[in-house]
Structure 1
């Protein structure tokens, strides 16, 4: 398998393009595949990869990136202009990934059908959202037939069970993490590059380092209040994002911007720029506790082998809470009972601010114990294989 086309529409925030960009890079770098990435919002990719430009076509890290406008494709109009990529049968990839049910262009599907009449259909996968519930075991790998041309599409679920597709993880990621975490100078260099200053003249001890990347969340006020009353210094690093207005309200300050640094009690809060993926991975490796949101940062926080709290993307009718609980049942099984109770309470309160009153101070006091379990959890996940390798093996097993 030599060529892969990935189609992505950015629904909200950065999780969709974050996953697709990581997968595209891994397939190109680790498996030497020729990858084309089609994305409808280049601004979102630009946040994760600052080298990206707002162009119809560009090559980034040996990946061909096209601006894809689904509305123009569907309407067959020239204003806006449909994607400029070659969609002839000869250009169709061996592996076609429709990320998160984004729907391929009709002319691309027609070209796939033409290829199929010549003897072999391209592998067509619908890459689904991260699954935590047991039903995904039975849905992973199911086939759907296109009603007009009979093309086969299979559903591929990232997940935590051996019967799902696993999680994105580059071949040497955990070794790089371990090397980083064994060298304190790496963390110091990263923080300096991000503009983080820690006044060692008044703070003789290294701070407890926390990253906070979240959607809007009223629970942040209670967390920051607890941190401000900590007996140890705390440095909370907040990448630019939707949580900033509520952080400002909790601190009683003017609207926050990149580079702002405020102190309240024993807590120092500093606003970071929105980080590209490599820098964000290293920030997760550097922190003692990571509060993350969505799916891409959630998975990367688990590979960091550090304590984490996940804010799941909210859905209508609280459907996301079943997904949250399913993960918590898996995750808490590896924790000592007392720690598991604390983790469950804090995670639930972070996602349902009116449901409980967590003891943040007790959880922070247990971070050292939680640290060991977090590393073991990452090692357990790795035994299931990584998503890209599992995907290619899946395709080999299902080849005609």
Structure 2
């Protein structure tokens, strides 16, 4: 099938990162994918090499293009009206799918797979279907390309970092830091204590962290990495601090302890979203460690105080690793998002 995937860049590049991973995965599975975006400039570092079967096109050039078999409207980006009209005029109407944001909240299971008939506008007569990623089999699942976990297992993190000049010193642990500008860096560094090498991804932390380092800590500023390179960074660290959605999902596949900075929302909706994820990811963990990690996650997101429990959570690496691996295994037992989306599109189109 031919897929059209539409993405708008709002204030960060996470949405584009998700869309690129989806489009690339589809192409590598033999589909034809076109990624339409209003800002393709980040692809120069995210995906500098061409991918057979994947075409990345400016958003405005979709006007006049013939729609494919499946049209994916990501994150409510609203398709161009002329393209929707062309969808409605197509002899065999495409499957129109709205790919939503990831959440562990209960509404996801209720909303996944719902149909929205279009009664007016350029798409009158079409059906739009809602596809929700998630963390169980009653949702759309998570992006996981074939062979990913085998690649994680075969990866040699110390050698990979050393080859790039990011090697650890004796006794050091290594973390990657990808955070929003409002991240509470000072209390984090205090809770970490000595013996850490911080690998700082591009962003505000690269200028803020050096002046905040405690004794026994050091930091290196990293360049922009390709998506594959960023994955390998996550596989190479003892702790990954991630944000948003794309890096958040990839860190879970790395199987290392992960601290998530959720996207802040003025209405406070990020609080319940964080708690829903923690409820799922910490299920079955030892009670004391789970309580400490929850306290750390709340503090990192400005939803709770920094207490001694936060530092204790960071010191309890064996428990953190065990839970990260158990959670990854639970997720890996499920069908991945791309496979589910392909099957969903076939059902939606009647193919």
User: Which TM-score tier does this pair reach, normalised by the shorter chain?
Assistant: over 0.9
Q: Specify which of 214, 223, 228 is matched with residue 179 of structure 2.
A: 214
Superposition pairs of residues 157-236 of structure 1, within 5 angstroms: 157-180=132-155, 186-198=156-168, 203=169, 205-227=170-192, 229-230=193-194, 233-236=195-198
Compare relative contact order (CA 8 Å, sep 6+) and give the higher one, 1 or 2: 2
**1:19 maps onto 2:18 in alignment:** yes
Q: In structure 2, do the counterparts of structure 1 residues 311 and 171 end up closer, same or farther at CA, with 3 Å as the change threshold?
A: same
Cα distance, 1:23 vs structure 2 = 0.3
Q: Specify which of 284, 287, 290 is matched with residue 240 of structure 2.
A: 290
* Distance of 1:95 and 1:164 partners within structure 2: 19
Cα distance, 1:267 vs structure 2 = 1.1
Cα distance, 1:150 vs structure 2 = 1.6
Q: Any conservation in 2 of the 1:210–1:235 contact (CA below 8 Å)?
A: yes
Match of 2:276 in 1: 326
Cα distance, 1:383 vs structure 2 = 1.9
* Distance of 1:265 and 1:173 partners within structure 2: 37
* Distance of 1:353 and 1:138 partners within structure 2: 27
* Distance of 2:293 and 2:61 partners within structure 1: 47
Q: Any conservation in 1 of the 2:27–2:51 contact (CA below 8 Å)?
A: no
**1:7 maps onto 2:40 in alignment:** no
Q: In structure 2, do the counterparts of structure 1 residues 85 and 308 end up closer, same or farther at CA, with 3 Å as the change threshold?
A: same
* Distance of 1:226 and 1:155 partners within structure 2: 41
Q: Specify which of 89, 104, 107 is matched with residue 82 of structure 2.
A: 107
In the TM superposition, what whole-angstrom CA distance separates every residue of 1:159-180 from its partner, at most 9, and x where no partner exists?
1132110000011101111111
Match of 1:387 in 2: 337
Secondary structure class of the residue paired with 1:159:
coil
Cα distance, 1:388 vs structure 2 = 0.3
* Distance of 2:62 and 2:342 partners within structure 1: 28
Match of 2:101 in 1: 129
Give the number of equivalent residue pairs: 347
**1:274 maps onto 2:274 in alignment:** no
Q: Any conservation in 1 of the 2:36–2:62 contact (CA below 8 Å)?
A: no
Match of 2:208 in 1: 246
Does 372-381 or 140-149 show the bigger shift?
140-149
> How does the TM-score come out when normalised to structure 2?
0.93
Q: In structure 2, do the counterparts of structure 1 residues 33 and 177 end up closer, same or farther at CA, with 3 Å as the change threshold?
A: same
Secondary structure class of the residue paired with 2:108:
helix
Runs of 4+ in 1 over 6 A off after TM superposition: none
Match of 1:54 in 2: none
Q: Any conservation in 2 of the 1:194–1:272 contact (CA below 8 Å)?
A: no
Unaligned segments of structure 2, at least 5 residues: none
Secondary structure class of the residue paired with 2:241:
strand
Unaligned segments of structure 1, at least 5 residues: 52-58, 69-81, 181-185, 252-263
* Distance of 2:163 and 2:205 partners within structure 1: 23
> How does the TM-score come out when normalised to structure 1?
0.82
In the TM superposition, what whole-angstrom CA distance separates every residue of 1:259-291 from its partner, at most 9, and x where no partner exists?
xxxxx5221211111221101111111111111
**1:64 maps onto 2:55 in alignment:** yes
Q: Any conservation in 2 of the 1:217–1:243 contact (CA below 8 Å)?
A: no
**1:152 maps onto 2:127 in alignment:** yes
Secondary structure class of the residue paired with 1:42:
coil
Q: Any conservation in 2 of the 1:127–1:155 contact (CA below 8 Å)?
A: yes
Cα distance, 1:218 vs structure 2 = 4.7
